[in-house]
Amino acid sequence: MWFLTNIYNKMAAKPWACAIDIVLAALLIYGMIVFLKKNNAGKLIAFVLVFVAAGIVLSSEFMDLPVVGSIMRYGIIIVIIVIVFVFPAETKRGLLKLASSRDTHEQYTTAYDVSDEDLHAAINDIVRAAQNMSKKNVGALIIISTQNLPEHIIDSGTKLDAVLSCALLESIFNTKAPLHDGAVFVRGNRIVAAGCFLPLSQSNAIDKELGTRHRAGIGVSENYNVLTIIVSEETGVISIAQHGELTRYFDSQMLTDKLEQTYGLQATPESTRKHHRRKEG
Partner 1 sequence: MNKQKQENAKKPNGFVALLKKIFVHNFGWKVLSIVSAAVIWALAAGLL
- The residue ranges that bind partner 1 (CB under 8 A) are 3-4, 6-7, 10-11, 18, 21-23, 25-30, 33-34, 37, 49, 52-53, 56-57, 59-62, 109-111, 113, 162-163, 165
Nearer to partner 1, 165 or 235 (CB): 165
Nearer to partner 1, 94 or 217 (CB): 94
The residue type at 191: I
Which residues, listed in sequence order, are joined to residue 241 by a DSSP beta bridge? 228, 246
Which residues, listed in sequence order, are joined to residue 247 by a DSSP beta bridge? 240
Residue 186 Cβ, how far from partner 1 at the closest point, in Å?
15
Residue 172 Cβ, how far from partner 1 at the closest point, in Å?
16
Nearer to partner 1, 49 or 154 (CB): 49
Give DSSP secondary structure letters for 77-140: HHHHHHHHHH-HHHHHHHHHHHHSHHHHTTPPPSS----HHHHHHHHHHHHHHHHHHHHTT--E
Contact in structure between 172 and 196 (CB atoms under 8 Å): no
Residue 24 Cβ, how far from partner 1 at the closest point, in Å?
8
Edge-to-edge order in the sheet of strand 245-247? 158-163, 190-196, 183-187, 140-144, 227-231, 238-242, 245-247
Nearer to partner 1, 67 or 277 (CB): 67
Contact in structure between 248 and 229 (CB atoms under 8 Å): no
Using alpha carbons, select from 56, 80, 41, 50 the residue that is nearest to residue 7. 56
Contact in structure between 118 and 262 (CB atoms under 8 Å): no
Residue 33 Cβ, how far from partner 1 at the closest point, in Å?
5
Residue 32 Cβ, how far from partner 1 at the closest point, in Å?
9
Nearer to partner 1, 160 or 198 (CB): 160
Nearer to partner 1, 3 or 85 (CB): 3
Nearer to partner 1, 25 or 177 (CB): 25
127 CB burial (10 A radius; 0-12, 13-18, 19+): buried
Residue 100 φ then ψ, to 5°: -110, 95
Nearer to partner 1, 53 or 205 (CB): 53
> For residue 121, what are the contacts with CB-CB under 8 A and spacing of at least 6?
189
Contact in structure between 198 and 220 (CB atoms under 8 Å): yes
Residue 84 Cβ, how far from partner 1 at the closest point, in Å?
21
Residue 60 Cβ, how far from partner 1 at the closest point, in Å?
3
Residue 67 Cβ, how far from partner 1 at the closest point, in Å?
16
